[in-house]
Amino acid sequence: MVKAGDTLPADMKLMEMGDAGPKPVTLGELTKGRTIVLFAVPGAFTPTCSMKHLPGFVQKSGEIRAKGVDEIVCLSVNDAFVMGAWGKDQGAAGKVRMVADGNGDFTRAMGLELDASGFGMGKRSQRCARRQGRQGGAAAGRARPRPERVERGVGPVEAVAVSRPVARSAP
């Protein structure tokens, strides 16, 4: 598991939809020489993620980019087909890049795995968001639990938009 102060694994392979189908993308490709906002949600098309989290980043993408962010990346433990379809459904094109952590490898490495078996969803990612600097393999920070923000309908976009650390909670 990546701990605070560790370097993020640049060779960690994720997937995204390309014009010809799913294609691999590494964490290093996403971050090298750029500032990104990476946020994770438990599942594409789930109610709270579809009504609050992804739409918040889509709607505030201009504000977030105005703070020096080159790209906004949404990650979920889903496959690239699902993430691509969800991005189309939510109007994310050109605003939020939809990336799949299909096997949950990145999620586990970050210590953010959530057992949502009780909801019939299996292993997923906890909600979290982080602003990742231009270093490419910058030190990883730990997400802090903030379930009260999600219960009030305030997603992690507010934390990132004001350059605050991270918000996370269960589905």
Q: Which residue has the higher pLDDT, 89 or 118?
A: 89
pTM of the model: 0.79
The CATH code for residues 13-161 is: 3.40.30.10
What is the predicted pLDDT for the residue at 134? 60
Residues 36-45: what's their mean pLDDT?
90
The tens digit of pLDDT for each residue in 108-159 reads: 888 888 888 888 888 888 888 777 776 544 444 444 434 434 333 334 444 4
What is the predicted pLDDT for the residue at 141? 46
Q: Which residues of 38-56 are buried (b: 16+ CB within 10 A; e: fewer)?
A: bbbbbbbebebbbebbbbb
- 8-state DSSP, 10: T
What is the predicted pLDDT for the residue at 164? 32
Measure the CA–CA gap between 37 and 168, rounded to whole angstroms.
14
The verdict on whether 49 is a catalytic residue reads yes
Residues 88-102: what's their mean pLDDT?
96
The tens digit of pLDDT for each residue in 44-63 reads: 998 888 888 899 999 999 99
- Helix or strand run (H / E) with residue 23: strand 21-26
The tens digit of pLDDT for each residue in 3-26 reads: 666 667 788 899 999 999 999 999
Catalytic option among 49, 80, 96, 128: 49
